[in-house]
Amino acid sequence: MNDSVENRAASAAVEAEDAHRPDPATEPGFDLGDAPAPRARASGYQVLARKYRPSVFEDLVGQEAMVRTLSNAFDAGRIAHAFMLTGVRGVGKTTTARILARALNYEKSGIEAPTIHMDGPGIHCDAIMESRHVDVMEMDAASRTGIDDIREIIDSVRYLPVSARYKVYIIDEVHMLSRQAFNGLLKTLEEPPAHVKFIFATTEIRKVPVTVLSRCQRFDLRRLSVGELTGLLSGVAQKEDVAAEEAALKLVARAADGSARDALSLLDRAIAHGEGHVREADVRDMLGLADRARIFDLFDLVMKGDIGGALGELRAQYDVGADPAVVLADLAELTHWLTRLKLVEGAGDDVAMSETERARGRDMAGRLPIRVLSRVWQMLLKGLGEVQGAARPIAAAEMVLVRIAYVADGPGPEELIEQLKSGGAASRPAPRPAPSGDASGGGSRAQLRSVAAARPELQEPAPAISASAPAADIRTFQDVVALVAAERDIRLKHALEAGVRLVHFEPGRIELGLLEGTSNTILGELSEKLSRATGARWLVSLARNADAAAPTLREQAQSLEERLKDRARADALVKAALAVFPGAEIVEVREPGLPAGLGAADALPPEIPPEDNLEDMEPDE
Same domain, 321 and 402: yes
Which residue range is the domain that position 186 belongs to? 2-27+45-220
Last-in-domain residue among 390, 413, 436? 413
Asked, for residue 33, whether it belongs to a domain, the answer is: no
pLDDT tens, position by position, 177-196:
999 999 999 989 988 999 99
Same domain, 81 and 191: yes
Asked, for residue 469, whether it belongs to a domain, the answer is: no
Same domain, 495 and 605: no
Q: Which phi and psi angles does 389 have, rounded to 5°?
A: -105, 5
Instruction: Annotate 375-429 with DSSP letters as a single string.
Output: HHHHHHHHHHHHHHT-SSHHHHHHHHHHHHHHHTTSPPHHHHHHHHHTTT----P
CA angle 246, 342, 429 (to 5 degrees): 120
CATH number at residue 296: 1.20.272.10
CATH number at residue 56: 3.40.50.300
89: pLDDT strictly greater than 80? yes
pLDDT at 419: 64
Same domain, 385 and 262: no
| Domain count across the chain | 5
Percentage of residues of the chain with pLDDT beyond 70: 76
**Better-scored residue on pLDDT, 319 or 445:** 319
Last-in-domain residue among 363, 384, 413? 413
The model's pTM: 0.54
Asked, for residue 125, whether it belongs to a domain, the answer is: yes
Same domain, 258 and 309: no
Asked, for residue 464, whether it belongs to a domain, the answer is: no
Distance CA(280)–CA(254), nearest Å, equals: 13
CA angle 362, 368, 374 (to 5 degrees): 110
C-beta of residue 500 within 8 angstroms of C-beta of residue 514: yes
Residues shown for the chain: 621
- Which amino acid does the sequence have at 486? A
Contacts of 597 (CB under 8 A, 6+ apart): 417
Q: Which phi-psi region, left, alpha or beta, contains residue 527 (left: φ > 0; alpha: ψ -120 to 50)? A: alpha
> Across residues 277-281, what is the average pLDDT?
86
447: pLDDT strictly greater than 70? no
Tell me the CA distances in angstroms from 338 to 311, 399, 513, one per residue in order.
22, 23, 32
> Across residues 228-254, what is the average pLDDT?
89
Beta bridge partners of 200: 84, 171
pLDDT at 418: 66
Asked, for residue 176, whether it belongs to a domain, the answer is: yes
pLDDT at 251: 85
268: pLDDT strictly greater than 80? yes
The DSSP symbol for 177 reads: S
Same domain, 211 and 131: yes
pLDDT tens, position by position, 368-398:
888 888 889 999 999 999 999 999 999 999 9
pLDDT at 43: 52
Contacts of 584 (CB under 8 A, 6+ apart): 577, 578
pLDDT tens, position by position, 391-423:
999 999 999 999 998 875 566 666 666 666 665
pLDDT at 569: 83
Same domain, 380 and 527: no
pLDDT tens, position by position, 22-74:
444 444 443 434 444 444 444 578 889 888 888 888 888 888 889 899 989 99
Same domain, 72 and 14: yes
pLDDT at 250: 87
Same domain, 609 and 510: no
C-beta of residue 386 within 8 angstroms of C-beta of residue 396: yes
Highest mean pLDDT among 355-359, 546-550, 570-574: 570-574
Last-in-domain residue among 516, 542, 568? 542
> Across residues 320-345, what is the average pLDDT?
87
Same domain, 332 and 272: no
Asked, for residue 503, whether it belongs to a domain, the answer is: yes
C-beta of residue 269 within 8 angstroms of C-beta of residue 251: no
Same domain, 216 and 231: no
User: Across the chain, what does the average pLDDT equal?
Assistant: 77
Same domain, 352 and 495: no
